[in-house]
C-alpha cells in the first residue's frame, strides 16, 4: 500500500503551463499545490508576450501620428515618456498577476511563494519545508542566455528591458529571432537609433525565406541598421557609453544599451531533477514523452522547460492535456504540427504551416501564390510600407500547407487562416470563399497566379 501524500499534484512554476495544469487538475477534484519563486503569470504575463505587446502598441503611435497628417489631421508635436509607459505597463501586469492568483485561489489550489526543489520522485521542498505528492509537474519555463564574450555582463536581456528606468537612445540588439526583431522595432518606434547584429545570413531562421527577406527590407526602411554575418566579440564601457566590437573589424558600435536576444534555455538548474533520476537533454531540458511524462513516472514537464516549442499557447495546451491525462482519465497528447505563430515586429508577421523551403523538403514540389502591395491605409499616409502574402500548396492534394503574411494585422488574420490550414483545406476551398472588400486578407482568397517551385 502506498503512503498517503500531502497533495495529488505538486506544480513547480505558476506560468502559462503550470497555472492551466493546476486549475484543470483542481477542478477535477485533485488536491493541488503550486510553488512560484517570482510572480504568478510567468514569463508571458510578467516579462514576455503581454508587456511586449503593450510596448509594441506604444511604439506604433509614432507612425500613427505621422500617418494621420495624410488624412487631414494636424497633430501637435508629440512627446513620449518612457517612465510613464513603464509605470502604466507595470500597473497592468500587477492587475493580471492578481487575476492569476485569484484564479488559482478560486480553483482551490494551494499557492506557495518560494523556490522549489525536487527531493525525490514524490517529494518537493519549498523554502525548507517538504511536501509529498502523487505527481509532480515541472513547469519552470526558460531563461534568457547570453553568449560568452568579454563584457557580456554589460548587456541586458529582455527581462531587464521591461524595467529600464530610462529609454536608451542608441541600442544594439543581438540576435535575429523573435525577441531581437520585436524589440528592435519597439526601440526604433520609440525613437532610438537601433542596430541589429545577427550571426547568420538572414534574420528569423526557420521562417519562410521570402518572409525573412521582406521583413528585413521593411525594418531597414524604418531605419533599423541590420548587420548580417556579424558577431559580437566584446563589450567595453567607454565613459557613459558602451563600445561594442564585432567580428567585422571595420564595425564597432557605440551605444547606450546592448540587448541580447540570443535564445532562452530551460530553467532546470538547482531543481534537483538529475539527482532525482529525471533525464535531461544537453540543454538541461526535461525529456518527456508525448504525454509530458519524464523518465521518472511521477514527474512530468510542460512548456518551455521541455525546450520543444517555446510558445505560451503550446504550454497551456500541454498543461491542460497533462491534467486530463492524470486526473480526468483521458490520456491526451498535444500535436505540435501546424502551430500558427506571430512575430510582433513592425510590420508584424503571421505564419502557419510550412515555409516554402520546408514544404519543398517534404513534398518535393510546391505551388506558390504571392501578393505584394502597399496597404490601402498608406495610399493617403504616403508611407512606402509594403505588405507581403504567400500561400503554399501541395500540388497533388491541392491542400494549402503554408500561409505567411508580413503586414498590418497579420497575426489577427493568420489566426483565422490557421483553422483552414489545420483543417487541411484546399486551394479551391480558399478560392470558393467570398472576399471581404476592401481588406488585405481578401488576397488570400483571390490569389490566382501560380508559381511552381522545386519542379
Ligand atoms: P530565438 O531562438 O528565436 O532566437 C535566438 C537568436 O539568437 C537567433 O537569431 C540565434 O541565431 C541567435 N543566437 C543564439 N545564440 C547565439 C550566440 N551565442 N551568439 C550570437 N547569436 C546567437 O530566441 P529569442 O531569444 O528571440 O526568443 C526565445 C523564444 O521565445 C523564441 O524562439 C520563441 O519561441 C519565443 N518567443 C515568441 C514570441 C512570439 O510568439 N511572438 C516572442 C518572443 C519570444 P541562429 O538563428 O543562428 O541560431
Cell digits of residue 160? 531587464
Looking at residue 4, its pLDDT comes to 84
User: For every residue of 90-129, which 3-state class applies, written as one string?
Assistant: HHHHHHHHHHHHHHHHHCCCEEEECCEEEEECCEEEECCE
Looking at residue 109, its pLDDT comes to 98
Instruction: State the CB neighbour count (10 A cutoff) for residue 406.
Output: 29
Mutate which of 160, 178, 344 for ligand 1? The one with the most ligand atoms within 8 Å of its CB, which is 178
CB of 284 shorter than 6 A to ligand 1: no
Indicate which atom in ligand 1 lies nearest the CA of residue 148: 18
222-234 pLDDT per residue, tens: 999 999 999 999 9
d(CA 6, CA 133): 6
Looking at residue 249, its pLDDT comes to 82
Contact (CB, 8 A) for 381 and 67: yes
d(CA 351, CA 354): 9
d(CA 364, CA 352): 19
191-210 pLDDT per residue, tens: 999 999 999 999 999 999 99
57-106 pLDDT per residue, tens: 999 999 999 999 999 999 999 999 999 999 999 999 999 999 999 999 99
Looking at residue 3, its pLDDT comes to 81
278-310 burial by CB neighbour count: b if 16+ within 10 A, else e? bebeeebbbebeebbbbebebbbbbbbbbbbbb
437 catalytic? Reply is yes
Looking at residue 250, its pLDDT comes to 85
pLDDT at 380 over 90: yes
CA–CA distances in Å: residue 44 to residues 88, 142, 261, 362 = 17, 11, 16, 33
Query: How far is ligand 1, taken at its centre, from the CA of residue 39, in Å?
Result: 24
Helix, strand or coil, per DSSP, at residue 304: helix
Of 300, 307, 336, 437, the catalytic one is: 437
CB of 197 shorter than 6 A to ligand 1: no
CB of 311 shorter than 6 A to ligand 1: yes
Looking at residue 449, its pLDDT comes to 96
Looking at residue 1, its pLDDT comes to 54
Q: Which domains does the chain have, with CATH numbers?
A: 7-143+265-327 (3.50.50.60), 152-262 (3.50.50.60), 341-454 (3.30.390.30)
Query: How far is ligand 1, taken at its centre, from the CA of residue 48, in Å?
Result: 13
d(CA 301, CA 288): 7
Looking at residue 167, its pLDDT comes to 97
d(CA 443, CA 123): 56
- Cis-peptide into 156, omega within 30 deg: no
- Mean pLDDT within 412-428: 98
d(CA 244, CA 230): 12
Indicate which atom in ligand 1 lies nearest the CA of residue 48: 43
d(CA 274, CA 120): 10
Mean pLDDT of the chain: 97
Residue-by-residue DSSP string for 165-231: SS--SEEEEE-SSHHHHHHHHHHHHTT-EEEEE-SSSSSSTTS-HHHHHHHHHHHHHTT-EEE-S--
Q: To the nearest 10°, the Cα dihedral for 209, 213, 214, 217?
A: 170
Indicate which atom in ligand 1 lies nearest the CA of residue 206: 46
Give the distance from CA 24 to its chain's centroid: 24
Helix, strand or coil, per DSSP, at residue 310: coil
Q: To the nearest 10°, the Cα dihedral for 110, 39, 298, 316?
A: 100
340-371 pLDDT per residue, tens: 999 999 999 999 999 999 999 999 999 999 99
Q: By percentage, how much of the chain surpasses pLDDT 90?
A: 97
Looking at residue 427, its pLDDT comes to 98
d(CA 208, CA 214): 10
- Mean pLDDT within 29-37: 98
CB of 375 shorter than 6 A to ligand 1: no
d(CA 202, CA 216): 8
Looking at the DSSP assignment, which residues form a beta bridge with residue 373? Answer: 387
Indicate which atom in ligand 1 lies nearest the CA of residue 312: 40
Which residues does 213 contact at the CB level (< 8 Å), separation at least 6? Answer: 202
158-169 pLDDT per residue, tens: 999 999 999 999
Query: How far is ligand 1, taken at its centre, from the CA of residue 156, in Å?
Result: 15
d(CA 402, CA 368): 9
CB of 258 shorter than 6 A to ligand 1: no
Nearest to 16 by CA among 257, 311, 268: 311
Contact (CB, 8 A) for 236 and 149: no
Mutate which of 179, 228, 233 for ligand 1? The one with the most ligand atoms within 8 Å of its CB, which is 179
Amino acid at each position: 500500500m502506498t503512503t498517503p501524500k500531502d497533495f495529488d499534484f505538486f506544480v513547480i512554476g505558476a506560468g502559462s503551463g503550470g497555472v492551466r495544469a493546476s486549475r484543470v487538475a483542481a477542478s477535477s477534484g485533485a488536491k493541488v499545490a503550486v510553488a512560484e519563486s517570482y510572480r504568478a503569470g510567468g514569463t508571458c504575463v510578467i516579462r514576455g508576450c503581454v508587456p511586449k505587446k503593450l510596448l509594441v502598441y506604444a511604439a506604433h503611435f509614432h507612425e500613427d501620428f505621422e500617418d494621420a497628417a495624410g488624412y487631414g489631421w494636424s497633430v501637435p508635436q508629440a512627446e513620449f515618456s518612457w517612465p510613464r509607459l513603464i509605470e502604466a505597463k507595470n500597473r497592468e501586469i500587477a492587475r493580471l498577476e492578481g487575476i492569476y492568483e485569484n484564479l488559482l485561489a478560486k480553483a482551490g489550489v494551494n499557492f506557495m511563494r518560494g523556490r522549489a526543489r525536487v527531493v525525490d520522485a514524490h517529494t518537493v521542498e519549498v523554502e525548507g519545508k517538504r511536501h509529498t505528492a502523487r505527481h509532480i509537474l515541472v513547469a519552470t519555463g526558460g531563461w534568457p542566455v547570453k553568449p560568452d564574450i568579454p563584457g557580456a555582463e554589460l548587456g541586458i536581456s529582455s527581462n531587464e528591458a521591461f524595467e529600464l528606468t530610462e529609454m536608451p537612445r542608441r541600442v544594439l540588439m543581438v540576435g535575429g529571432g523573435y525577441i531581437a526583431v520585436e524589440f528592435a522595432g519597439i526601440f526604433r518606434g520609440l525613437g532610438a537609433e537601433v542596430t541589429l547584429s545577427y550571426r547568420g545570413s538572414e534574420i528569423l531562421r526557420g521562417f519562410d525565406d521570402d518572409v525573412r527577406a521582406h521583413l528585413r527590407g521593411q525594418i531597414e526602411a524604418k531605419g533599423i541598421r541590420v548587420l548580417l554575418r556579424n558577431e559580437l566579440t566584446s563589450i567595453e564601457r567607454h565613459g557613459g557609453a558602451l563600445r561594442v566590437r564585432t567580428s567585422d573589424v571595420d564595425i564597432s558600435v557605440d551605444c547606450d544599451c546592448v540587448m541580447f536576444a540570443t535564445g532562452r534555455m530551460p530553467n532546470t538548474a538547482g531543481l534537483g531533477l538529475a539527482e532525482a533520476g529525471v533525464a535531461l537533454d544537453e540543454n538541461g531540458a526535461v525529456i518527456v514523452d508525448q504525454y509530458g511524462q519524464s523518465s521518472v513516472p511521477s514527474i512530468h514537464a510542460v512548456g518551455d522547460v521541455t525546450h520543444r516549442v517555446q510558445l505560451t499557447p503550446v504550454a497551456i495546451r500541454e498543461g491542460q492535456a497533462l491534467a486530463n491525462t492524470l486526473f480526468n482519465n483521458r490520456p491526451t497528447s498535444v500535436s505540435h504540427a501546424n502551430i500558427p505563430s506571430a512575430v510582433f515586429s513592425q510590420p508584424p508577421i503571421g505564419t502557419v504551416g510550412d515555409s516554402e523551403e520546408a514544404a519543398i523538403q517534404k513534398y518535393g514540389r510546391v505551388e506558390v501564390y504571392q501578393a505584394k502591395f502597399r496597404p490601402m491605409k498608406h495610399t493617403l499616409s504616403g508611407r512606402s510600407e509594403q505588405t507581403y502574402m504567400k500561400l503554399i500548396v501541395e500540388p497533388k492534394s491541392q491542400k494549402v500547407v503554408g500561409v505567411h503574411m508580413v503586414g498590418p494585422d497579420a497575426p489577427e488574420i493568420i489566426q483565422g487562416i490557421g483553422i483552414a490550414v489545420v483543417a487541411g483545406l484546399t486551394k479551391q476551398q480558399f478560392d470558393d470563399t467570398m472576399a471581404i472588400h476592401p481588406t488585405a486578407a481578401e488576397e488570400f482568397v483571390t490569389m490566382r497566379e501560380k508559381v511552381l517551385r522545386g519542379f
